[in-house]
Amino acid sequence: MKYNSDEHIDDQMIKIEVSLDDMNPEFYGYLMEQLFKFGVNDVYIVQVIMKKNRPGQVLHVLCREEIREKVMDFIFQETTTLGIRYTPYTVHRLEREFIEVETEWGKCTVKIGKRAGKIVQFAPEYEDCMQLAKEHQVPLKWVYDQAKEKGYQWLNEQKLLE
pLDDT tens for each residue of 26-37: 999 999 999 999
Q: What are phi and psi of 29, to 5 degrees?
A: -60, -45
Q: At what angle do helices 28-38 and 68-78 cross, to 10 degrees?
A: 160
- pLDDT at position 1 is 43
User: Can 9-92 and 95-157 be said to share one CATH topology?
Assistant: no
- pLDDT at position 129 is 97
The per-residue pLDDT for range 65-121, each reduced to its tens digit, is 999 999 999 999 999 999 999 999 999 999 999 999 999 999 999 999 999 989 999
Average pLDDT score over residue span 136-158: 95
- pLDDT at position 4 is 63
- pLDDT at position 8 is 86
Task: Name the residue among 18, 9, 6, 72 with its Cα closest to residue 40.
Answer: 72
Q: Give, for 106, the enclosing helix (H) or strand (E).
A: strand 106-115
- pLDDT at position 160 is 82
Q: How far apart are CA 25 and CA 42, in angstroms?
A: 19
pLDDT above 70 as % of the chain: 97
Q: How far apart are CA 114 and CA 5, in angstroms?
A: 10
Among the four given CATH numbers 3.30.70.1380, 3.60.15.10, 3.40.50.720, 1.10.3720.10, the one describing domain 9-92:
3.30.70.1380
Give the CATH architecture of domain 95-157.
Roll (3.10)
Q: How far apart are CA 30 and CA 19, in angstroms?
A: 17
- pLDDT at position 3 is 53
pTM for the full predicted model: 0.78
Q: Is the pLDDT of residue 10 over 70?
A: yes
DSSP state string for 141-159: HHHHHHHHHHHHHHHHHTT
- Domains of the chain, by residue range, sit at 9-92, 95-157
Q: How far apart are CA 46 and CA 48, in angstroms?
A: 6
Average pLDDT score over residue span 131-150: 98
